[in-house]
A and B are shown apart, each in its own frame.
Chain A
Amino acid sequence: MKPSPSEPAALGQVPPLDITPAQIELFHQHGYLIFDNLLTPDQVTQISERFDPLFNTQFETGIYPDEWYGRPGLSQPNATQQMTGLWRCDRTLASFTLSAKIAQINATLMGWGSARYGFDTCWIKPPNAPAVYFHRNNTYTSCIAPPATVTCWIALSDVALKTGSLEIVPGSHFWDCTDQVRFLHAPQEDYRTPLWQAAQAAGIQSPQIVPIVLPPGSAVFLHGNLWRGSGNNPSATKTRRSLAISSLAGHAKFQLPGVGNGYIFERYRQQGSLDIAESYYPILWSQTGYRTPFLADYCQDALVG
């Protein structure tokens, strides 16, 4: 029987977390946490198969994404393909990116009592794809209070240096430095330039860049202030695919108008209100069991049985 949306016990009920206090401590200490085998091989395939239709303008719901780079016909053949706002376009993808389980892990790592959708993005780096500037994700949430996000970054193919790995700087979430919104793709200069500037501001002499190596289905959780980027994909044959699921605090609101950088979020601001409407940014998991009701009608939760 389908659970009633009014029964809290049926909403957002996820099994106990298999994350230990020690892992949470590691996340806070280093700004990231590796999580093996978050998805099964079948789930990885299920997600990856949805990407080609999306980039060929075949959206299952008929709704377009919030951000889209790398459109066939308009982009260079080696362009990185990035799409954000997947959940509105495709309900198979929504069943993963709106999953209560991932939101719960995100919230637990951050110490939040609830988590709402922030952004969900696929990254597809074909052979010879260009670099992506180093950046902090929290730079893009500055119009939100609290201006904080956390990301579950899931490998959908082998991620290694030979395929343009994700690169992070452990501990850089503590740095006292600034970042700015910039076009992240195919920089004309060293893609690490913003990182060098930030390190200098923070008084760090030699920041240690660590390439993330993951098999398909495994994930890394990233603090919103952690510096990350990626070099070009040097492989002649292999495409690197990943899915990034970022949460905001469930209690998040908009900052006052004019504060911070609007990015995508500001488009959804209702005049005269600081509330972030759940229709646009649903609550995915809460300690109380609450989950935005319409989700039960919109898609399944692929990770919560």
Chain B
Amino acid sequence: METIIKSPLSTEQIGQFHHDGFLVVENLLAPDVVAGLVERFDPLFAGEFETGVYPDEWHWNPYLGKPGAAGQMTGVWKCDRTLFSAMMSPKIAQMAATLEGWNGARLLADGIWQKPGGAKETTLHQDSMYINYHTPPGVITCWIALSHAVAGASTIEYARGSHRWQLSEAVPEFHNQNKSYRSEMEQAARQAGVDSPEVVQLSLAPGSGVFHHGNTWHGSGPNTLDVVRRSMVLAYVPAAARFKPFGSYVPGGYIAGKYRRHGDDTMDESFFPITWREDGYRTPFLDSRPANSLDQ
């Protein structure tokens, strides 16, 4: 019997995603969920990991960090049950898969960001620069505001339509460049025959989010206001994804490449769980942990 699954997004929304390379979806997270997530930021950046597991990436802490610098953490679902609960949402994964036309979504990586007043720019980049070691290809990212994201306070910004440009060489440094944070994007635009790329700075309420295509150029400007901008990021690949064949290591494997086993192209669900698939499958260990507050 054919199962009919109601799309969480309208045809117009899907069309807009493919036209612009990104799509805003409001109210992805309820206010109490947002509040619960924000409460975890200070302990996490201070190295208090609820599960005892350290994150894959941890940039900035209050002891060695420069005051006012941006903080970034990756692989947080392993460290904190509140974050885990939100990050394993089947609802968000279903939206991601729907926008890409996949039959399911596998969480490749998560992240949290905080940019206090005075924080520098985050260089514009394409996620696919760093995530192209798997097949079938493709990556889609959901960026969720956990505070008011507004122009001047380091909100996320996109070069509209840039997902149709060619994939560029990897931008080597997000945090600490000596040139304009848009310069690499502008160079890519020129190569694509676009003289004046349209940069859109989004205005999002806490809990609202934006999905972007893996090739869409994005980043954020400096935070010139006296507020802390916080966000959560979820990057998905197709549920069926496997590593491409590689030798003794995954060149450019960033973080995910560390989890490939030699002689085995499986993207092990222990590390890359399937958080939604249209046939109802979901990586079993996800639901043996605390219930997902987003989908109750």
Nearest residue (CB) in A for B72 is A74
Q: Chain A residue with minimal CB distance to B78? A: A267
How close is A2's CB to chain B, nearest CB, in angstroms? 13
Partner of A298, one of B56, B249, B259: B249
B66 pairs with A68, CB closer than 8 A: no
- How many A-B pairs have beta carbons closer than 8 Å: the answer is 130
Judged by a CB distance under 8 angstroms, whether B291 is at the interface is: no
Task: Give the one of B47, B64, B175 with max A CB within 10 A.
Answer: B64
Interface residue A37 (Cβ < 8 Å from any Cβ of B):
no
A279 near B261 (CB under 8 angstroms)? yes
Question: Which of A71, A76, A268 has most chain B Cβ within 10 Å?
Answer: A71
Verify B59–A74 contact, CB threshold 8 A.
Answer: yes
Kindly state whether residue A3 has any CB partner on chain B within 8 Å: no
Q: Is the beta-carbon distance between A183 and B46 smaller than 8 angstroms?
A: yes
* Chain A residues numbered 44-101 whose CB sits less than 8 Å from any CB in chain B: 56-58, 61-64, 66-76, 79-80, 85, 88
A267 touches B249 (CB 8 A): no
Q: Does B165 contact A (CB under 8 A)?
A: no
Name the A residues within 8 Å of B175 (CB-CB): 71, 73-74
- Neighbouring B residues of A260 by C-beta, 8 Å: 52
Contact between B64 and A186 (Cβ–Cβ < 8 Å)? yes
Partner of B69, one of A70, A74, A88, A298: A74
Given contacts A88-B249, A183-B61, contact A63 B258 (CB under 8 A): yes
- Selecting from B83-91, B216-224, B262-270, the interface stretch reads B262-270
- Set B57, B248, B252, B264: member contacting A68, Cβ < 8 A: B57
The smallest beta-carbon distance between B259 and chain A, in angstroms, is 7
Is B102 in the interface zone, CB < 8 Å from A?
A: no
Residues of B within 8 A of A280 (CB): 258-259, 261
Neighbouring A residues of B41 by C-beta, 8 Å: none
Task: Kindly state whether residue B254 has any CB partner on chain A within 8 Å.
Answer: yes
Contacts of B247 in A (CB 8 A): 297
Interface size on A, residues (CB 8 A): 49
- Whether a CB of chain B sits under 8 angstroms from the CB of A263 is yes
**Inter-subunit contact A267/B54 (CB<8 Å):** yes
Residues in chain A near residue B63, CB distance under 8 A? 130, 183, 185-187
Chain A residues with CB under 8 Å of B66's CB are 73-76
Do most interface residues of chain A lie in helix, strand or loop, or is the interface mixed?
loop
Complex Cα spacing A186 to B63, Å: 6
On whether the beta carbons of A72 and B176 are closer than 8 Å, the reply is: yes
- Residue total for B at the interface (Cβ-Cβ under 8 A): 49
0/1 per residue, B255-296, Cβ < 8 Å to A? 101111111100011110000000000001100000000000
Is the pair A294, B262 in contact by a Cβ cutoff of 8 Å? yes
Contact B251 A268 (CB under 8 A): no
Interface locus among A168-176, A237-245, A269-277: A269-277
Closest chain-A Cβ to B66's Cβ sits at a distance in Å of 5
Q: Is the CB of A266 within 8 A of B78?
A: yes
User: Closest CB of chain A to B107's CB: distance in Å?
Assistant: 14
Chain A residue at minimum C-beta to C-beta distance from B133: A62
Distance in angstroms from A229 CB to nearest chain B CB is 15
Contact (Cβ within 8 A) A271 B269: yes
CB-based contact B250/A270 at 8 Å: no
Bound-complex Cα distance A294 to B249 (A): 9
Closest to A67 in B: B54
Verify A57–B172 contact, CB threshold 8 A: yes
Hey, which chain B residues are within 8 Å of A187, CB to CB?
63
In this assembly, does A235 line the interface, its C-beta being within 8 Å of a C-beta of chain B?
Answer: no
B window 54-86: CB within 8 A of A: 54, 56-61, 63-66, 69-71, 75, 78
A residues whose Cβ falls under 8 Å from a Cβ of B:
56-58, 61-64, 66-76, 79-80, 85, 88, 130, 143, 181-183, 185-187, 260-264, 266-271, 277-280, 294-295, 297-298
Beyond A66-B258, A71-B176: 17 further Cβ-contacts under 8 Å?
Answer: A62-B253, A64-B255, A66-B56, A67-B54, A72-B176, A73-B176, A75-B60, A76-B66, A88-B258, A143-B52, A183-B63, A266-B53, A267-B56, A267-B78, A279-B261, A295-B248, A298-B248
Top 9 closest pairs, chain A to chain B, by CB? A73-B176, A62-B252, A262-B53, A183-B47, A79-B64, A298-B248, A261-B52, A279-B261, A186-B63
